[in-house]
A and B are shown apart, each in its own frame.
With several copies, the nearest count.
Chain A
Amino acid sequence: MTCKAEHYMTGETAWCPGCGNFAIREALAGALAELGLAPHQVLLVSGIGQAAKIPHYIGVNGFNGLHGRALPPAIGAKVANTDLKVIVESGDGDSYGEGGNHFMHNIRRNPDIAHFVHDNQVYGLTKGQASPTSEPGMKTGVQVEGVMVSPLNPLSLALVMGAGFVARCFSGEKDHLKATMKEAINFPGYALIDILQPCVSFNKINTHGWYKNRVYFPEIQAPQDWTAAMDLSRQWGDQIPLGIFYNKPHRTFEESRAALKGEPLSFRPFNPEELSSLQNDFL
């Protein structure tokens, strides 16, 4: 049973009119529909934030967890049921700030999970504090003199940690986003899309127009060239490249675990009595 894009869109959203989140949601719904994934086959995991409300607005399995903690349950869920298509979707604060340690270390694990970050360069839900990707100088209620630290570059970071699929998209380029999401979902291993997303309520710097004027689609010769990918990932400012900068699978978490071959663990039968020979170790 698969559906049309509209059918994936459930619930009444609580986002602000004009927000980039809407386009991301539509792109995701479109990607799922075009991939022919039925709702029960997909699991959407998120943390807390505006972006992280997405499991309430896409009618697949959902785990709306804690702020910063979207990746760990996603890995666990994948271990239990390798048949699930697991997608993690959350905000920049959630993914790179509170959740930074999981971000780094899960890239190393390389689970077969697609990670879509709504990067609005601000903490939306808590009303506009700086996020790890905020532009230096951005003033907020907490950063009263403006952001003083250099922004975290999620794509460079992912590359350095060994990610096999690294892409940048923009919510204002919905078709490109949808196409990239499909590739990320199909990629065998951890796939990151950092999605530039205007926040009309709190980010007055990186507006839709600001992004629109800067994004471009570079021709990417070989998305297997790490150095070229690193260069692209570091481009920011007047010209912001979009696209899949790196795409090179390597052994996944699931492949490296003997126990994960075969039927999903969740559905394998079990009878404790059969394990009584475990005691032999202690005789």
Chain B
Amino acid sequence: MEVNVLIGGAAGQGMETIMNLLGKALVKEGFGLIYTKDYMSRVRGGHNFTRLRIAPGHPWTTLESIDVLVALNEETYLRHSDHLTPTGRVIYDPQLFNLPEGESRGVPVELKKLAEEAGGRVMANTVAVGALLVLMGLETSTVEELLKDTFAVKEGVAEKNITALKAGYDSAARSCSACFELPSKNQDGEKLFIDGNQVLGMAALASGCRFLSAYPMTPATGIMNYLAAKSLDYPVVVEQAEDEIAAINMALGASYSGVRAMTCTSGGGFSLMAEGVSLAGMTETPLVIVVAMRPGPATGLPTRTEQSDLEFILHSGHGEFPRAVLSATSHEDAFYRLNKAFELADRYQTPVFFLSDQNFADTHRSVGLYDFSRLGYNRALAAEGDFEKPYKRYRITDSGISPRILPGQYEGEVVLIDSDEHDEKGNIIEDAYTRRAMVDKRMRKLKGLAEEMDEPDLYGDPHPEVLLIGWGSTYGVIREAVDALIARGIKTAMLHFSDLWPLPQKRLRSLLAEVDHSCCIENNAGGQLSRLIRRESGLSIDNNILKYDGRPFLPNEIVKEVQNDL
């Protein structure tokens, strides 16, 4: 009742484009699916693969086991055939390589030849997708439609691809028929087929972000690409900065002078932004910083996933100032949560972080339509009459938040912000009294921020004995693990943090008091959330399940480890 496909080959073989189309076509037809990528830090060659899982409802993770292996080269077969199910199938090109003796699961399709006949070798993928459709018992029509849409402007491309698709379909249809039963189609309305970076790009634009300054860096570049494409039609400026230092400082300038601004990067680029973060804190300038994490330190594994920058981001930038840290858990939630980041930044006039990672950024899922009316655009500016004249940018208030106006907004009023310690007007000071008052004022915002934090999501058994704790992009996989553990009779629940700082502790404290066993699951080597929990609450988590090889968790890994622990 579910199908797991892996398609693998070298970088530059154009797998992505066609798999994106296939995914979209399936979602259009009503299937629930997830589509993930495993790619190398190179442009051509090497070994890349993508996984597609079509399962009842809307699956949260792809799995290791493979029903259909599309092997665009022999390496793919050799690396992955161990995980092919006994009843699985291998689509391969017999002109490129032969399957080993005794391998009976082969579906030979002359990918290269058919592609060349259709108009070019690059379409071997398209041929393969045609064959894949046969195995899943589907027609080519929806993919054909999408091909026409996608390549509408590039003359002849759609036609050639359709030829290739059909050739693959026909070829496979000659040697076999549908051998996998797809799950039944969902009846829950229209669904988007969208990846994490697109969710964030769209959320930023729909939150009124009007300036993105950034420097390309995997896996954050997709956000930049999204907004750049939209800048043709929407009032948003995307500027490729000369470096990440410029990126954050530009964004701060734009925010100061009145627009919602954002920057996005990954760990290395973010390191260069630390001083700018501190400037945002001192000048009380709203800013949303998206960090799409990847394995470090230094250049690390540029195209892979990790959750290892949490502690760095919590403390990044010298000196002390309030910040909020939110994270991307699911495609459903991230859209609204990035909007929340913009709202908090404006209301608290301070930097707000949004943590994503490669796993979230590059994963497509079928998700329901978003409700744009739930998005906020409250700039939290002081109206005429709501601020003292002459205007004081840093007026000391009980909440720590000073009334904010924009430069140029009111005749006769100027707005002065300062990276030195300053008085209410924004002028440099050095005396102890004002310094203390300003630190206290800034720090008071933390109290307000703490009240804004959402308690972590609770899922699973209502009276759990085992509690799995996680944050960020592990949401889906832990959820699937919880289901599996419950199915095995273990009363399990998941407590999953979207909002990380100030750390919401209520639900955590009450659950930890109840359960027999707690376990923190993180894609890092340090157990960073686990440490944060102990620092903030004094409570220790019983065990950490940590993975730091650059790959996302699989549900069965978690299930196995939890069972071992018990």
Contacts and interface: CB of A to CB of B under 8 A. Distances in A.
- The answer to whether A and B assemble together is yes
Contacts of A15: 42-44
B246 A64 contact: no
Contact of A72 (B231, B245, B370, B408): B245
A66 B299 contact: yes
Interface in A40-99: 40-41, 43, 45, 48, 50, 53, 55-56, 59-69, 71-81, 83-84, 97-98
Interface residues of B, number: 95
10 contacts: A62-B414, A62-B415, A62-B426, A76-B211, A76-B213, A101-B245, A125-B41, A273-B372, A282-B193, A283-B190
A36 interface: no
Contact of A66 (B239, B279, B407): B279
B369 interface: yes
Contacts of B42: 14-15, 125
Given A72-B250, A259-B235, A98 B242 contact: yes
A157 interface: no
A35 interface: no
B164 to A, nearest CB: 22
B44 A72 contact: no
Contacts of B120: none
Of the listed residues B198, B339, B418, the one surrounded by the most CB atoms of chain A closer than 10 A to its CB is: B418
Interface stretch (A136-144, A173-181, A223-231): A136-144
A38 interface: yes
A74 B252 CA distance: 9
Given A62-B426, A98-B215, A141-B225, A283 B414 contact: no
Nearest to B370: A279
Given A63-B253, A76-B250, A1 B299 contact: no
B240 interface: yes
B237 A64 contact: no
Interface of A: 1, 11, 14-17, 38-41, 43, 45, 48, 50, 53, 55-56, 59-69, 71-81, 83-84, 97-98, 100-102, 104-105, 123-127, 129-130, 132, 141-145, 201-202, 257-260, 264-268, 270-276, 278-279, 281-283
Nearest to B216: A126
Contacts of B40: 14
Contacts of A127: 43, 216, 221
B316 interface: no
B411 interface: yes
Given A38-B411, A60-B414, A67 B268 contact: yes
Given A65-B249, A66-B298, A81-B258, A142 B414 contact: no
Interface in B220-238: 221, 224-225, 228-232, 234-238
B369 A279 contact: yes
B258 A80 contact: yes
A61 B218 CA distance: 28
Of the listed residues A40, A55, A83, the one surrounded by the most CB atoms of chain B closer than 10 A to its CB is: A40
Interface stretch (B88-96, B98-106, B200-208, B436-444): B200-208
B242 A76 contact: no
B533 interface: no
Contact of A76 (B44, B215, B253, B426): B253
A129 B240 contact: yes
Contact of A64 (B213, B235, B240, B420): B420
Contacts of A65: 249, 252, 279, 283, 419
A62 B237 contact: no
A104 B253 CA distance: 19
B416 A79 contact: no
A80 to B, nearest CB: 4
A216 B231 CA distance: 40
Contacts of A74: 253
A50 B121 CA distance: 25
B459 interface: no
B471 interface: no
Contacts of B299: 48, 66-67
B387 to A, nearest CB: 14
Nearest to A103: B242
B210 interface: yes
A13 to B, nearest CB: 9
B268 A66 contact: yes
Given A56-B427, A77-B253, A62 B417 contact: yes
B412 interface: yes
B243 interface: yes
A110 B214 CA distance: 18
A14 B193 CA distance: 32
Contacts of A271: 377
A201 B208 CA distance: 35
Given A78-B253, A258-B231, 12 more contacts: A16-B43, A56-B427, A62-B418, A69-B245, A69-B276, A80-B211, A102-B246, A144-B229, A257-B237, A259-B237, A265-B210, A275-B234
Contacts of B242: 97-98, 100-102, 104-105, 132
Contacts of B256: 63, 73, 76-77, 80
A100 B254 CA distance: 21
A209 to B, nearest CB: 20
Contacts of A266: 257-259, 406, 408
B408 A83 contact: yes
Interface in B364-389: 369-370, 372-373, 375-377
B192 interface: yes
B250 A125 contact: no
Contacts of B268: 66-67
Given A73-B253, A142-B238, A272-B207, A61 B377 contact: no
Interface in B253-304: 253-259, 261, 268, 275-276, 279, 283, 298-299, 302
A271 B46 CA distance: 46
B190 to A, nearest CB: 6
A268 B406 CA distance: 13
Contacts of B409: 40, 267
B97 interface: no
Interface in B391-419: 406-419
A202 B210 CA distance: 28
Of the listed residues A75, A101, A124, the one surrounded by the most CB atoms of chain B closer than 10 A to its CB is: A75
Nearest to B211: A79
B25 to A, nearest CB: 11
Contact of B252 (A73, A83, A100, A129): A73
Contacts of A260: 237
B205 A142 contact: no
A72 B562 CA distance: 48
Nearest to B426: A62
A105 B239 CA distance: 12
A96 to B, nearest CB: 9
A130 B243 contact: no
Contacts of A81: 257-258, 406-408
Contact of A80 (B192, B206, B254): B254
B19 interface: no
A80 B257 contact: yes
Nearest to B390: A59
A21 B380 CA distance: 38
B531 interface: no
B109 interface: no
Given A62-B426, A130-B240, A272-B207, A77 B254 contact: yes
